[in-house]
Structure 1
């Protein structure tokens, strides 16, 4: 099944014409932690192929793979040294081609994670760039003249330290927004852009079904002005990128944009297909940190603000753009531990959070293990592997923070919460690998695992399966308008969806206490219940802890 280039291929619509992704659900895989097939402790492509039947059973339409291209793995693959090859830890290019085919046979598309803001410092382009200012590849990166110990300005990298790295043989600094081993690419150079487009077309020719663009809002950086995201030429670059590549195929494309607001998102996800299918925005993700501070500076979730944020994105992008819907990804803690209750009400709160999200307009993303209700971990610092986590631990110790306070923040927000091995069964290492995993498995795999949940009719897995099927059965999930209800209620998240004469009423108790509410005008409580996380509804206007329901009437 071919999803990429559509020249001379009958029956494949362009991105402007085909909007299959509106009814789709995407499953994100972090390959390193999904399934190890060759017993080296690291997940791989053959391991993913081995579990495709599981994903087909879940009902998802596409798999987003975190980076699998060749990489020194300084930042777990987000430092690419060869865009046209697979890292040996995951397998070979032939394995990737096999995955594309095997997934396609199950009507599942493969979405690749592309890192176009920066490369690895071991990429051949950068190795050439360091050879001299006159080298044709030098201008593929962002350089500034300077003197040792006197960088061009005081900009800081996201992973800590200066954003400028001194190269003595050139008497120049190169710019890096992330790790020192991730030099930023210079998108002002048209030759670089052409290299990128040709590489994307090469993957499309292999049948890739879409792309997720890492920190794409930072490609138009202007470091002299201290501008990192939303630079003045950003949408010029993206429109050129889309025209030269994505618009030639029937793809799903999503840009990661931490700095996006609704107006920018309308550009990113313009229905005319000039940029992306949709954008990842993170406004809701930042609501449990202290204002103006880092994510490690914890604060209680502002629930009323959460409702306002979701409502704003639902209303303002309706028929003018497209939402991506997510609680989790490889960079975020597990939602059931973050905003649910991962102990007494783990299954109930996991299902409630899923109901709330999947009832909205947009394309839902399920992160591996989310469909099982996997939870955060509380390791000692020695068991963490993430570069960001290790850096913040060191930096905060140096600033005088107490170890216990630092570890509380890491336990709550560390990226390795999402990166522990997928919990397949009650077996050593959660059935992920016969060898010692690259990162330790969560100890609760004996209770939380796929084998167990596939057998239980009321499991989190089976609930996700039902939710995913609803989007296929009812067009209203994709096309219906949104209206927030009970805006000031401190416990209930409720809203309606409307498409013509058809209506949905979604009501979710966000907390671990019983609450009462009044059915909206025109609703009796006797309507069809499409799904409810407690199974049977006992009282129409009383919600048990974390209870969630979707009603439908026509």
Structure 2
């Protein structure tokens, strides 16, 4: 029997951000307008009509603030300035205006767990200037002995010794990304001020990066050596996080009709409910990671043992729990890929024999699930993982740090020992340049690209995809239009069918008298769908990824990676 929600409709109120489809842009890799090999703001503006044609409603722009680029822009040195490589504030305004002219909205990244070590706050803090002494986490100690055993997400210790101040400082990420001390009310006031500054410029919301790490426990106790990174159970969802987030909401977001998306690793459904809506901390939706761990090794993402093995029933259980159990105020940021994940068709589909079919299946799942769907650039044409033959081919500090940790621990002798693993998991896969056409450098730039283009660009590119009515791109476009046309795909109650089936992911969405069935054969072998909960002999197929699906009974054999959405 399916897992049943006894309601006939979602009790949550209508909101524009629930009905939106979000497209994530990684600026450095999207489109280069000036030939310097780096994507930029004018390049994004030049492609706004492309996004409008796809039908998306919101563009999430990864950081374009001033940054020394230790972590590709997530190390911010000035929140109120634009990085020179990306353009100027006037270029940013032109992008915002172009989006708003087309009834599209702009979501910015809010990165306030940490800053760059080149930010003036850190520079003043390391010099112990009055008012800035406690803007970051500083600790005394032997220069050879970190204050605790916490590890960094980038590998190595979460502590670095600063010779200028003569103390250790905390950085959960790169050593050039020191953590802000949110216990300091002046820090919280400064963060609220910069949020207000951007909201007054007319943006439509923020994605809150790594926001569940902003509260650290008193005394910064050692963490469990068995966790990765060490200490994550200490600094994730800390003791004052609800106080801090609610304060930020009341100071800023509460006064605007904007969208807030909280990126929160190590978050359960129960924890998520505490952050959402007026009954929680005022946030609109959670970007959780539980389904992103379905194919990890026992030691987590950077454990090379066991990566890539996953079962559909386990994936369905995770997805369905989040679909059902967030409650009346709960809402998901529904995604399979982003700038921190490998390409979805390589990870969850088949990027070889069933490339188009599986990419369309993934799109069908994404755009018929409960929650606001997030499409990452290139997914709409089926971009796949690249091949990194050596450590020198990599750019991502997190991937490089993980490899260095394995080398230091003696777990591997060299890159060749983890080459296959890296070519499955690295964040660099998502950061290869967007493939616009089959000309040199995939039409991304007239210069030398900052990062190598994937070799498959002559077969996988926007020009070919938009010209082919049966392409992955057109399937995304039709799904976006269908979602906009059918409230049941936004607000409908989710019910899982066949929870233990090893190949089929099937579910219904129900809103009042409307009911839609989604059947996905998430495998490369044919399989049969039988369910007592649906009995439709002459289905009205709304969309499918096989041309003749409209003539077939829903209770039948489904072909490899076949995806069908049926009006019941």
Q: TM-score normalized by structure 1?
A: 0.94
Following TM superposition, by how much is the alpha carbon of 1:267 offset from its aligned partner in structure 2, in angstroms?
2.0
For 1:512 and 1:457, how far apart are their aligned partners in 2? Answer: 24
- Structure 1 segment 337-486 matched on structure 2, within 5 A: 337-381=346-390, 382-398=392-408, 399-402=410-413, 403-486=415-498
| 1:161 corresponds to which of 156, 164, 180 | 156
Conserved? CA contact 2:148–2:221, under 8 Å: no
For 1:435 and 1:552, how far apart are their aligned partners in 2? Answer: 49
Partner residue of 2:5?
A: none
Cα deviation, 1:207-251, whole Å, max 9, x if unaligned, reads 111100100000012361342110011111111111111111111
Following TM superposition, by how much is the alpha carbon of 1:330 offset from its aligned partner in structure 2, in angstroms?
0.1
Partner residue of 1:33?
A: 29
Conserved? CA contact 1:318–1:481, under 8 Å: no
- Structure 1 segment 148-547 matched on structure 2, within 5 A: 148-222=143-217, 224-226=220-222, 227-270=234-277, 274-297=281-304, 298-381=307-390, 382-398=392-408, 399-402=410-413, 403-537=415-549, 539-540=552-553, 541-547=556-562
Following TM superposition, by how much is the alpha carbon of 1:272 offset from its aligned partner in structure 2, in angstroms?
5.3
Following TM superposition, by how much is the alpha carbon of 1:393 offset from its aligned partner in structure 2, in angstroms?
2.6
Conserved? CA contact 2:264–2:287, under 8 Å: yes
For 1:441 and 1:231, how far apart are their aligned partners in 2? Answer: 40
Distance of aligned partners of 1:18 and 1:141 in 2 relative to their CA distance in 1, 3 Å threshold: farther
Following TM superposition, by how much is the alpha carbon of 1:477 offset from its aligned partner in structure 2, in angstroms?
1.2
Following TM superposition, by how much is the alpha carbon of 1:18 offset from its aligned partner in structure 2, in angstroms?
7.0
Conserved? CA contact 1:271–1:321, under 8 Å: no
Following TM superposition, by how much is the alpha carbon of 1:519 offset from its aligned partner in structure 2, in angstroms?
4.5
For 1:121 and 1:260, how far apart are their aligned partners in 2? Answer: 28
Partner residue of 2:4?
A: none
Q: Secondary structure at the match of 1:320?
A: coil
Distance of aligned partners of 1:481 and 1:430 in 2 relative to their CA distance in 1, 3 Å threshold: same
Q: Secondary structure at the match of 2:109?
A: strand
For 2:250 and 2:278, how far apart are their aligned partners in 1? Answer: 14
Distance of aligned partners of 1:521 and 1:503 in 2 relative to their CA distance in 1, 3 Å threshold: same
Q: Secondary structure at the match of 1:96?
A: helix
Deviates further, 162-171 or 543-552: 162-171
Establish whether residue 76 from structure 1 lines up as the match of residue 76 from structure 2: no
Distance of aligned partners of 1:256 and 1:191 in 2 relative to their CA distance in 1, 3 Å threshold: same
Conserved? CA contact 1:145–1:173, under 8 Å: yes
Q: Secondary structure at the match of 1:224?
A: coil
Deviates further, 114-123 or 386-395: 386-395
Superposed CA RMSD in Å reads: 1.5
Distance of aligned partners of 1:348 and 1:522 in 2 relative to their CA distance in 1, 3 Å threshold: closer
Conserved? CA contact 1:18–1:250, under 8 Å: no
For 1:404 and 1:474, how far apart are their aligned partners in 2? Answer: 49
Q: Secondary structure at the match of 1:138?
A: coil
Question: How many pairs does the alignment contain?
Answer: 537
For 1:130 and 1:521, how far apart are their aligned partners in 2? Answer: 64
Cα deviation, 1:269-309, whole Å, max 9, x if unaligned, reads 22558421101001000011122344342140122110000
Following TM superposition, by how much is the alpha carbon of 1:17 offset from its aligned partner in structure 2, in angstroms?
8.2
For 1:451 and 1:458, how far apart are their aligned partners in 2? Answer: 13
For 2:14 and 2:176, how far apart are their aligned partners in 1? Answer: 39
Partner residue of 1:137?
A: 132
Distance of aligned partners of 1:485 and 1:371 in 2 relative to their CA distance in 1, 3 Å threshold: same
Partner residue of 1:551?
A: 566
Partner residue of 1:7?
A: none
Following TM superposition, by how much is the alpha carbon of 1:471 offset from its aligned partner in structure 2, in angstroms?
1.5
Conserved? CA contact 1:147–1:171, under 8 Å: no
Conserved? CA contact 1:266–1:321, under 8 Å: yes
Partner residue of 2:51?
A: 55
Conserved? CA contact 2:242–2:281, under 8 Å: no
Conserved? CA contact 2:156–2:401, under 8 Å: no
- Structure 1 segment 40-119 matched on structure 2, within 5 A: 40-119=36-115
Cα deviation, 1:22-42, whole Å, max 9, x if unaligned, reads 110000000000000011000
For 1:319 and 1:479, how far apart are their aligned partners in 2? Answer: 11
Following TM superposition, by how much is the alpha carbon of 1:331 offset from its aligned partner in structure 2, in angstroms?
0.5
Conserved? CA contact 2:273–2:327, under 8 Å: no
Distance of aligned partners of 1:257 and 1:498 in 2 relative to their CA distance in 1, 3 Å threshold: same
Deviates further, 537-546 or 57-66: 537-546
Which runs of 5 or more residues in structure 1 are unaligned? 1-15
Distance of aligned partners of 1:315 and 1:18 in 2 relative to their CA distance in 1, 3 Å threshold: closer
Cα deviation, 1:298-343, whole Å, max 9, x if unaligned, reads 1401221100001100110142300110000001000100110001
Partner residue of 2:228?
A: none
For 2:488 and 2:29, how far apart are their aligned partners in 1? Answer: 35
